[in-house]
Amino acid sequence: MDIGKKLKALREEKRISQVEIAKMLGISQGSYATWENKKTNPTLELLEKVSKIYGIPLQKIFIDDNQPQDYIELADNYMRLHQDQKEVIGDLAKLMVEKNKQFSEVREDAPVYAIKRYRRDDLYEVEVQDEELSAGFGTGVKDNYETYTIYTDSPVRRYDSAARIKGESMEPDIPNGSIVTFVNNGFDLDGDIYVISEGGYGEETLYCKQVYQEEDGFRCHSLNPDPQYKDFYLGEDARILGAVVDCVEEIDPDLIED
């Protein structure tokens, strides 16, 4: 708030000269003039005298007529406080202003990252089965499934099928939520990553695991070193659907432009 501008407006509204108001306040006209010229600010005690001379609440001097109502109420409540309470509020306000200043400086120094956007023509399409492959303890399969299209910025080699990973047991190589593509070529080499199923048709459970063929059947191994992910065997009804070709991340559709 411009105190000098407000004092001048109040004085002119009352049609009082600087000499007259200065005399009422017990100060020189020159001292009063420095207030209106914004060279110095009056003390709170002198402002209280001004408010009594003009017959207005003290807070009216500090508030523009077009200030929001909550601002006016705040100033009014402040003026009703005892002096020691005002000092507490003043110290708290200074502390909060300083914290805001420090926060503002941190934000100004923080790096600004642009959100990357993609042109659809520059991306690669992948048709994904509407089934998730378990990178944990198995995901059931419905009798029928549909496909949906996702886009990735990673080149995709030839594949027969693709599905989304559910679980963290194959991290960090195959993250939860990523898309794996695979070819329907059966079992080939120990230690490769395969999509493998267990159970009868329509009741299958799918896995994405590192697979070893042993006497007891297919041993499924997780890449995540967390001890909760232990190796397990799948029985005679286990079937290799195909070797994993690629693992890609889906681009957020909101970041893709036509």
pLDDT digits (tens, 9 = 90+) for 158-168: 999 999 998 89
pLDDT of residue 216: 84
| Between residues 30 and 59, the one the model is more confident about | 30
Amino acid at 74: L
* Alpha carbons 107 and 87: distance in angstroms, whole number: 30
Fold of 121-253: Umud Fragment, subunit A (2.10.109)
Whether residue 143 is predicted with pLDDT greater than 50 in this model: the reply is: no
Q: What is the pLDDT at residue 142?
A: 45
Average pLDDT over residues 49-67: 79
Give the chain's mean pLDDT.
84
> Backbone phi, then psi, for 38, in 5-degree steps?
65, 20
Say how far apart CA 80 and CA 57 lie, in whole Å: 11
Q: What's the predicted TM-score (pTM) here? A: 0.53
pLDDT in tens, 177-210: 999 999 988 888 899 999 998 876 666 788 899 9
Cis status, amide bond into 172, omega within 30 of 0: yes
Do 121-253 and 3-80 fall under one CATH topology?
no
Asked if residue 141 has pLDDT above 70, the reply is: no
| Mean pLDDT across 27-32 | 90
Question: What pLDDT was estimated at residue 244?
Answer: 94
Per-residue confidence band for 173, with pLDDT thresholds at 50, 70 and 90: very high
Q: How far apart are CA 12 and CA 20, in angstroms?
A: 12
Of 50, 81, 65, the C-alpha closest to 41 is 50
Maximum average pLDDT range among 18-27, 96-105, 114-123: 18-27
Query: Which fold would CATH assign to domain 3-80?
Result: 434 Repressor (Amino-terminal Domain) (1.10.260)
The pLDDT-based confidence of 247 (bands split at 50, 70, 90) is very high
Whether 170 contacts 226, CB under 8 Å? no
> What is residue 145's predicted lDDT score, i.e. its pLDDT?
63
Confidence of residue 255 (pLDDT cuts 50, 70, 90): very high
Bridge partners (DSSP) listed for residue 240 = 196
The Cα 136–Cα 166 span in angstroms is 7
| pLDDT at position 137 | 42
Confidence grade of residue 71 (pLDDT, cut at 50, 70, 90): low
Q: How confident is the model at residue 138 (pLDDT cuts 50, 70, 90)?
A: very low
Residue 6: band (very low, low, confident or very high) from pLDDT cuts 50, 70, 90: confident
Q: Name the CA dihedral angle for 201, 202, 207, 213, rounded to a multiple of 10 degrees.
A: -10
- What average pLDDT does the segment 132-137 reach? 57
Q: Write the DSSP assignment of the chain as a string of letters.
A: --HHHHHHHHHHHHT--HHHHHHHHTS-HHHHHHHHTTSS---HHHHHHHHHHHTS-THHHHS-TTS-HHHHHHHHHHHTS-HHHHHHHHHHHHHHHHHHHHHHHHHHHSPP-PPP-EEGGGSEEEEEESSEEESSS-EE--S---EEEEEESS-----SEEEEEESSTTTTTS-TT-EEEEE-----STT-EEEEEESSTTS-EEEEEEEEEETTEEEEE-S---TTS--EEE-TT-EEEEEEEEEEPPPPGGGEE-
Q: What is the mean pLDDT of residues 48-57?
A: 88
Helices 29-36 + 18-25 axis angle, to 10: 110
Query: Of 49, 28, 30, 34, which is closest to residue 3 (Cα–Cα)?
Result: 34
Tell me the domain boundaries of the chain: 3-80, 121-253
Residue 248, pLDDT > 80, answer yes
